[in-house]
Every structure is written in structure tokens, then in C-alpha cells.
Amino acid sequence: MGMSDYFARLRECVGHDLLLSPAAAACIRDEAGRILLLRRGDGDDLWSFPGGAMDPGERAAETVVREVREEIGLEVEPVALIGVYSGPEYAISYPNGDRVQPVINFFECRVVGGRPEPDMDEILGYRYFGPTDELPPMHPCCVAKARDAFGFHVGDAAFFR
């Protein structure tokens, strides 16, 4: 799914100016504890965690469930908040000129159904990575989330970056 109607209406008003955007992302692990990363199809060939922007009226936990379902076809249940990521260093510039500074709620999620099936539009592929694997090219925020995910255990206190 591309830009929501809500963000399309905002973009009509502000053009390509920087928008602050609440968002949610999922840390999904396989049986071996490796983390799931997705290859994005938005032109920059970067990999990321499943996730995206909140829609009006949504809770952050609902956002992560919806985004994972839309992007990779898995049903998940958020079980812990790993951390919250914000700041200008995490701003994103898209190929069309749009700029976004997200505030990302990063959840540890448990798979409760479905099979990984990329939508082949927004998501072109996926792979699980372990802590000793070389990670693919990622946005700086995803690098921080990957580092934190490898060190996180359910029951740890969430942190803010």
C-alpha cells in the first residue's frame, strides 16, 4: 500500500516539506532468533523492519499489526516495546522529494499466523539475519533498531533514542 489518504491530503497542503510522522515497526524473529528484514521497493534499495505510519484513530500496536499484514502477510501480536526512535538523524527523504521525520515505536512481535509473502509492490523480498551476519544497506534508524534488537530480551525496559 502506498501513501494513505491522510498523508496525501497533508502533502497537498505542505508539498515536500518535512512532516513529523508517528509510526510503528516490528522486530519479528525466526526459531533461531534471527530478525526479519524487508527489501523495500520505493526506489532506494534499502532494507528495513516491517512497519509504517500510523493512520488517524489507530494505536501504535494496531499500526504494527496492520503494517506487518499489509507488507509481508504475517499476523503478529506485539509482546514488548523495544524502544522509541526519533530525531533529525532519522529523517527520510524519498525519491519524489517528500521528507518525513518519524517517531517510531519499535515492538518485539510474535507471529501468530500467516506465511511471509511480500506484496511485491512496497516490499520486494525478505530475509532473516543473525547477529553475526552482514546486514544489508539500511537507513540509519534501522541500523540502530537492528543493533538494539539483537541485544533485547522480553522483560527488558524500553528505551528512547
What distance in Å separates the CA atoms of residue 52 and residue 22, rounded to the nearest whole number? 9
Q: What are the DSSP calls for 54-98, one per residue?
A: PPTT--HHHHHHHHHHHHH-EEEEEEEEEEEE-SGGG-EE-TTS-
pLDDT, tens only, 59-87: 999 999 999 999 999 999 999 999 999 99
pLDDT of residue 154: 67
Give CA torsion, residues 128, 142, 148, 32, to 10 deg: 0
Whether domain 15-160 has CATH 3.90.79.10:
yes
| Ramachandran angles phi, psi of 50, nearest 5° | -60, 140
* Residue 18 pLDDT class (50, 70, 90 cuts): very high
Per-residue pLDDT, averaged over 97-110, amounts to 96
Say what the pLDDT of residue 44 is: 76
What is the rounded CA–CA span in Å between residue 130 and residue 25?
18
- In the predicted model, is pLDDT for residue 1 greater than 60? no
Q: What is the rounded average pLDDT of the residues 82-97?
A: 91
- Amino acid in position 51: G
Residue 30: pLDDT band (50, 70, 90) is: very high
Q: In the predicted model, is pLDDT for residue 24 greater than 90?
A: yes
Share of the chain above pLDDT 70, in %: 94
Amino acid 42: pLDDT: 77
Predicted confidence at residue 6, as pLDDT, reads 86
